[in-house]
């Protein structure tokens, strides 16, 4: 299978898994802002790791991943009905804190920008 086809199938799988997660009624999943960060599919399309991050933090992501791994069969069956792939890989969910990490970096950059603007305003007053 060419890399282009594998990449296209991976993106299709990611899109459908995100849609299925939004439709799930499990309270451990439905009330949270979850995001699928990355999907890694093996070359033979037999295994798939889905990296999930939560806006609320790592503890929330871990709790959601437990629920998602319990419902992995349902997610796989739904993905099979929505996609026209010959074989749908077995799905395993993993928690990651990338949203929390990037939010922290954005906060630090905003603080640096505010400090930079304050020093520019002080320089303009001295002139």
pLDDT on residue 60: 87
> CB–CB of 31/92 below 8 Å?
no
CA distance 104 to 10: 29
pLDDT on residue 20: 94
CA distance 64 to 58: 10
Q: Which residues of 7-33 are buried (b: 16+ CB within 10 A; e: fewer)?
A: eebbebbbebbeebbeebeeebbeebe
pLDDT on residue 120: 64
CA distance 66 to 34: 13
pLDDT in tens, the chain (127 residues): 567 888 899 999 999 999 999 999 988 888 788 889 999 999 998 999 999 998 888 888 899 999 999 999 999 999 999 998 888 999 999 999 877 777 788 888 888 877 777 666 666 666 5
CA distance 38 to 97: 12
pLDDT on residue 4: 86
């Amino acid at each position: 299978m060419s890399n282009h086809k594998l990449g296209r199938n991976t993106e299709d799988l990611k899109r459908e898994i995100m849609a299925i997660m939004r439709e799930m009624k499990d309270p451990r999943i439905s009330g949270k802002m979850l995001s699928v960060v990355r999907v890694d599919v093996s070359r033979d399309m037999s295994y798939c790791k889905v990296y999930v991050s939560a806006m609320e933090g790592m503890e929330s992501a871990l709790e959601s991943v437990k629920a998602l791994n319990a419902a992995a069969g349902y997610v796989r069956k739904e993905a099979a009905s929505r996609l026209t792939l010959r074989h749908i890989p077995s799905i395993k969910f993993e928690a990651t804190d990338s949203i929390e990490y990037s939010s922290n970096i954005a906060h630090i950059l905003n603080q640096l920008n505010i400090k930079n603007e304050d020093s520019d305003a002080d320089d303009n007053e001295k002139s």
